[in-house]
Amino acid sequence: MITAPGSGQGKSMVTAALARLHRNAGRKVRVFKHGPDYLDPMVLEVASGQPVYQLHPWMTGEDECRWRLAEAAQEADLILVEGSMGLFDGDPSSADLAKLMGIPALPVIDARGMAQTFGAVALGLASFDPELPVHQVIANRIGSPRHGDMLRESLPKGIELLGAIPRNDAMNIPDRHLGLVQAAEVADLDARLDAAADVLQEAGLDQLPRPVQLSAEPPHPPKRLLEGTCIAIARDAAFAFIYRANLDLLEAMGADLVFFSPLADSRLPQADALWLPGGYPELHGATLADNTGLLADIRAHHAAGKPILAECGGLMACCEHLVDRDGNRHPMLGLMPVRAEMADRLQALGLQGLATVDGELRGHTYHHSRLTTDWQPLARTRKVAGTEAEPVFSHHGLVASYFHGYFPSAPAVVARIFRGEPIQPKETNHG
């Protein structure tokens, strides 16, 4: 478990560079991400050359966490799990996942402006929870070899310095308001990752961790509730927030998946249902608004009563207008009497669940835009952690919300949405 005392310590790039370092050494590396994150896994997939899945004891379930790691252990030489926030932050935290899986935590500590206190921070992380093994730490952003020696000497007995990473531009990656820039938007990402791997090689970070034993029973296959259903899925720089596990589930339930780009394709593929996932439509408002042929096809799909699932960025695309960060107003699909407008700060963040008679669809919310509407939602999600519950709108086959769902948590609910059947919320959806 690659973790840290908090966000901003550099663990994402360290995890990616470790994956690339061992991959370049001829090892098969599998990487996982703790928590509901879309952007880090994109970079980690490029770094490792393998698919990346989310692990979260509440959202994905404990059994699925165990199964995914055990399955990866059948073929991988090295498994890395990138934590979220700080090691003990959240419920369940990265520490909780590490304990559940029986794997040690490896904290990445930003050592800028720090000397002997480094040892105190490492000791605190290692001793805060006696059930969590912490054998090693990584010092990040050191100023000199002597600085690294001081940090090593500060460590108490039982904790070793795995490596000290110098400040280096190769260890940086661009970001924006929702996190890292999408991997596909970084033209030289492979070269950056190779350079970062070289930095870690020189810092002595090429050794493998101690082996652990992982075992789990495989899950039962889902019912083929979407047999013969063709689902068109928007996927490009504007709509890219898609869990791999969601696609796997749709196919396992019998759905045929076709992908299209709202930025580049002028026509909607022939399909029974449509999925507009989250992403960055606010960065491409003019291009989306100018794609009149595709907009007309999606409007016709909706007018025919065919199912549409619109999550976060997809919800924004279904609004009458989208106001971007510069105040520019872009006409959107107009499937909802709603206006979406970018705000200057985060509007919502946290784990959420949509409780229905068919089960609870679990997931999260994270957005910088806000809605203006008098339209009444069908239901509201249940707040598990973070900000207030999100409205879930539904009309004429359209289900739209800021809520991002993890489909395997409630296959029957997902099947109902893509078959165009009404969601039946439970009365617990008060947030």
| Domain match, 173 and 245 both | no
How would residue 9 be classed by pLDDT, with cut points 50, 70 and 90? very high
Active-site annotation, residues: 312
What's the domain range around 164? 2-202
Average pLDDT estimate for 179-198: 84
Residue in 50, 57, 56 with CA at minimum distance from that of residue 16: 50
| Domain match, 290 and 254 both | yes
CATH number of the domain that residue 256 is part of: 3.40.50.880
Structural domain includes residue 102: yes
The answer to whether the CB of 176 falls within 8 A of the CB of 151 is no
Lowest mean pLDDT among 91-95, 166-170, 249-253: 166-170
Q: Is the pLDDT of residue 184 over 80?
A: no
What is each CA distance from 158 to 5, 88, 154, 314, 375, in whole angstroms?
A: 19, 20, 12, 50, 59
| Domain match, 261 and 403 both | yes
The answer to whether the CB of 111 falls within 8 A of the CB of 141 is yes
Structural domain includes residue 128: yes
- What does the chain come to in residues? 431
Between 109 and 180, name the one with better pLDDT.
109
How would residue 237 be classed by pLDDT, with cut points 50, 70 and 90? very high
Which of helix, strand or coil describes residue 346?
coil
Burial of 24 (C-beta count, 10 Å sphere; 0-12/13-18/19+) = middle
Distance from chain centroid for Cα 220: 25
Alpha-helical (H) ranges within 203-320 are: 244-252, 285-290, 292-303, 313-318
pTM of the model: 0.94
| Domain match, 235 and 345 both | yes
| Domain match, 297 and 165 both | no
Count the helix, strand and coil residues of the chain and give each as a percent rounded to the nearest 5: 30, 25, 40
- pLDDT (tens digit, 9 = 90+) per residue, 18-56? 999 999 999 999 999 999 988 899 999 999 999 999 999
Q: Which stretch of DSSP H or E encloses residue 391?
A: strand 391-395
| Domain match, 36 and 134 both | yes
Q: Is the pLDDT of residue 196 over 90?
A: yes
- pLDDT (tens digit, 9 = 90+) per residue, 154-170? 999 999 999 999 999 88
